[in-house]
Amino acid sequence: MKTSTCISFIAAFLLNFYSAAAYEERNIIMSELDGTDLVSLHMTDGNWFPYPECADREAWAELFGNSAEKVVREAEKYEDYAWTVIPASAYLEYERSGDRQVMEKPYEMNRRALNMFALAELAEGKGRFLDRISDGLWAGAQMPSWVLSAHLPRQASGRSIPEGRQEVIDLGSAGYAASMSIICHLFENYIDQAVLSAVKTAVREKILKPYLDPSCRDANWWMAENPKPGQIINNWNPWCNSNVLLCFLLMEDDNDVLADAVRLSAVSVDRFLNYVKGDGACEEGPAYWGHAAGKLYDYLRILCDASGVTCLDNSLVRRMGEYISRSYIGNGMVVNFADASAVFTPDIPLVYRYGYDCGSREMMDFALYLLYNPVSGTFKYPQPPLGNDIWRSLETLRHMGKMCHEIDSLNVLCNSVSGRSGLYLSAGRPDAAVVPASVRASLRADVPQCTWYPETEFAYMRNGNGWFLAAKGGFNNESHNHNDAGTFILCIDGVPVFVDAGVGTYTKKTFSHERYDIWSMQSGWHNLPMINGTSQIFGQEFKASDVKCSTSRLSFSAELSGAYSDAASCRSWVRSYDMGEKDLKISDRFVLSGRIVADTVNFLVQGKVYLPGEDIVAGAGTSVKTVSAASGAHVTRHGSLPEVPDGQVVIVNGDIAVSLSYPLSLLPSVKEMSLTDPRMSNVWGPVLRRISFASASDAPAKGHYDFVVRQI
């Protein structure tokens, strides 16, 4: 099978992204680490590890608290688990069809089972899971590779099956190795030495040696050695480095080698921090925040525990953390530009402890906010630490007590009818006449009405009526890029109206030369114009310019002509958004050098679309929240609404109905996109709809299109 074309594209896609902002030599970590004699710290003895000995049952009982029983019950579900050998055909399937799940699912199940047995033994301490732990460690040590099939083409052979001549470190292998290193450290006095030796040898050959080997740096591109100007350094860097650091700290016996590895990792992660824009936004979106900023936090926490050197109080690190709070819309919805899902709940304990360590009360309050149960009107405790990242499971335990204490305080407030003297919200704000909804709302009181990320060119705006607008500028070679410079999304009361479809299940095509054949990557399926019949183009040079945001007026504008090819014959196309208390104005001002074919302004929506002349039917037994023209108050209306007038399109999603006014010179039409990929259909349901407003083919080459969104 020929793979050279695919490998070339993947190499370009992963290695040759460019940023709109210059790489800045901040070197935050090394500026703190310089002068520290790492060798003298004797980190190889493992005394830095911030958890008790396995035999210290009192300490583990305190850490697990009330979650111990549930963790044990979950592990018992795996008691008959058969460790899966990944067959050659599973690796080869990535080459044959592009399917990566057939290899990844059993791989991740093996890792999850191992972690569950380890956590259950720590929680119970009776020894009954020790053999299962040994079996899992042994099975992992015998694997020819821990690298995922989709990432193995970084081998010299270019194949998706392990070929043994070169070790590549990827997200999977570094994570698997870290899990086994932690588990071996915790249970070293209870596991047979032959098993421990097999794991240590495997970790050394698959992780430690290739990490230090300069000849492997091209394959391990994420280390970003000698980065080109503007070269992307994305979530792979902190994700892999944090896990590799754990492997060295727990498996390396030579203090000099360990010190070299720690410094090498610090230099590498510094390159990620040098690449990240100073505004702290995650251009890969909220779904990647936990792997980018979140894994940076893991790395810095591990480095601090092992060496005493901390960068957790750095202002950029804090801004990167608070991005996850600012990008949350409500009702489980998040801003999902690029390859991200619109429905996403972050790792809540991770958000809390990141906020705790970097001094962000906003992040801590956001984590507590997400634990609110609207049915009971109280805040629930975080879930027991499960999953395939055992470091994060242990870190959750370390902060569980603090979180539960704050939750208890919030629930006292929720149970208070009128408030009590001396009771304070978690952020230290006194409260009177407390009801559960106001307690929860107070946890978001410090989030600004408008957050502007001037370097990443993201703008997030909220008004007093539950409207949330997100708009972006940017360029069409961002990490996990879609051709979407200038697009927007709009939610009302957490209900999506104008949307970004996101991305489907990852396959070989997703990161190949065919990526922009996928409909959800194209500007024509975003809330953007097709200028003279042309869509935006992928590439560094195709970008928005003159991007502006007024945080006081809640307005955003961007020149989009640079995101289109010369075929658009476009001299200028300025897209602007102005959000009021009850409406959103969308304006396109354009100057073409010549009219070729029609312009089409597209809007992607969730919900039923009604064109002029159609009756709006909410459906039997359903209701729609509308706004009274007289008072401006919300009114619930049942059944049919009036016929849609000329110059308007109506969108109804659940109990939210909005009108979209448009110029009468444009002709509206609707096209449905059936969603068969579960990664999309689980978010949007079976279909999304695109509303297209087409100009006449002989329309003027200079003019404007104005749209207004109002709740009806």
- The answer to whether residue 671 is domain-embedded is yes
What confidence tier does 539 reach under pLDDT thresholds 50, 70, 90? Answer: confident
* Domain carrying residue 602: 450-711
Please tell me which of 6-10, 32-36, 362-366, 425-429 the model is most confident about, judged by mean pLDDT: 362-366
Q: Using alpha carbons, select from 489, 519, 661, 474 the residue that is nearest to residue 585.
A: 661
Q: Which two tokens stand for residue 314?
A: 């750095």
The arithmetic mean of pLDDT across residues 16-20, rounded, is 39
Whether the predicted pLDDT of 131 surpasses 80: yes
Average pLDDT over residues 37-43: 93
CA distance 676 to 148: 25
pLDDT at 130: 98
Of 21-30, 467-476, 544-553, where does mean pLDDT reach its minimum?
Answer: 21-30
Mean pLDDT of all residues belonging to the chain: 90
Q: Give the residue-averaged pLDDT of 528-545.
A: 92
pLDDT classification of 591: cutoffs 50, 70, 90: very high
Q: Are the CB atoms for 596 and 534 separated by under 8 Å?
A: no
pLDDT of res. 460: 97
Look up the pTM and report it: 0.89
458 and 285 in contact (C-beta within 8 Å)?
Answer: no
Structurally, the chain folds into a number of domains equal to 1
Evaluate whether residue 704 is within a structural domain. yes
Question: What confidence tier does 283 reach under pLDDT thresholds 50, 70, 90?
Answer: confident
Compute the average pLDDT of residues 387-410. Answer: 95
Res. 541 pLDDT band, cuts 50 70 90: confident
Looking at the predicted structure, is the pLDDT value of residue 7 above 90? no
CA distances from 83 to 113, 119, 390, 641 (A): 9, 18, 18, 59
Share of the chain above pLDDT 70, in %: 91
Is residue 412 assigned to a domain?
Answer: no
Q: What's the pLDDT at 478?
A: 81
Task: Please state, for a pLDDT cut of 90, what percent of the chain lies above it.
Answer: 78
Instruction: Give the per-residue pLDDT at 641.
Output: 63
Q: If phi over 0 gives left and psi between -120 and 50 gives alpha, with beta otherwise, what is residue 70?
A: alpha
Residue with tokens 């059993």: 106
Model confidence over 572-582: pLDDT tens digits? 999 999 999 99
- Would you say residue 431 has pLDDT above 60? no
Does residue 295 sit within a domain?
A: no
pLDDT higher than 50, residue 50: yes
Domain contains 626: yes
Instruction: Report whether pLDDT(537) > 60.
Output: yes
DSSP 99-125: --HHHHHHHHHHHHHHHHHHHHHHHH-
CATH number of the domain where residue 621 is located = 2.70.98.70
Per the CB < 8 A criterion, the answer to whether 442 and 436 are in contact is: no
Residue 255 has which token pair? 């203090």
pLDDT band at 6; cut points 50, 70, 90: very low
Residues 6+ apart with CB under 8 A from 204: 251
Distances (CA, A) of 643 to 199, 617, 623, 672: 70, 9, 17, 22
pLDDT at residue 465, rounded to an integer: 94
Q: Is pLDDT at 191 greater than 50 in this prediction?
A: yes
Residue 532 in any domain: the answer is yes
Q: What is the pLDDT of residues 667-709, one digit of tens each?
A: 999 999 999 999 999 999 999 999 999 999 999 999 999 999 9
> Would residue 26 count as lying in a domain?
no
Instruction: Please check the confidence at residue 379 and state whether its pLDDT lies above 90.
Output: yes
Q: Which two tokens stand for residue 553?
A: 């007026």
Half-sphere exposure for 141 (CA within 13 Å, toward CB): 21
- Cα(first)–Cα(last) distance of the chain, in Å? 57
Q: Are 317 and 59 in contact (CB under 8 A)?
A: no
What pLDDT, on the 0 to 100 scale, is given for residue 609?
96
Q: How far apart are CA 333 and CA 336, in angstroms?
A: 9
Residue 580 lies in a domain: yes
| 414 vs 412: CA distance, rounded Å | 5
As a whole number of angstroms, the distance between CA 156 and CA 216 comes to: 10
pLDDT band at 417 (very low <50, low <70, confident <90, very high): very low
- Checking if the pLDDT of 595 tops 60, the result is yes
The helix (H) or strand (E) run that includes residue 680 is helix 678-684
- Mean pLDDT, residues 472-489 taken together: 88
- Which has more pLDDT, 406 or 516? 406
- What is the distance between the alpha carbons of residues 624 and 615, in angstroms, rounded to a whole number? 14
Task: Please classify residue 586 by burial: count the beta carbons closer than 10 Å to its beta carbon, then call 0-12 exposed, 13-18 middle and 19+ buried.
Answer: buried
- Beta carbons of 459 and 556 less than 8 angstroms apart: yes
Rounded to an integer, the average pLDDT of 358-362 is: 97
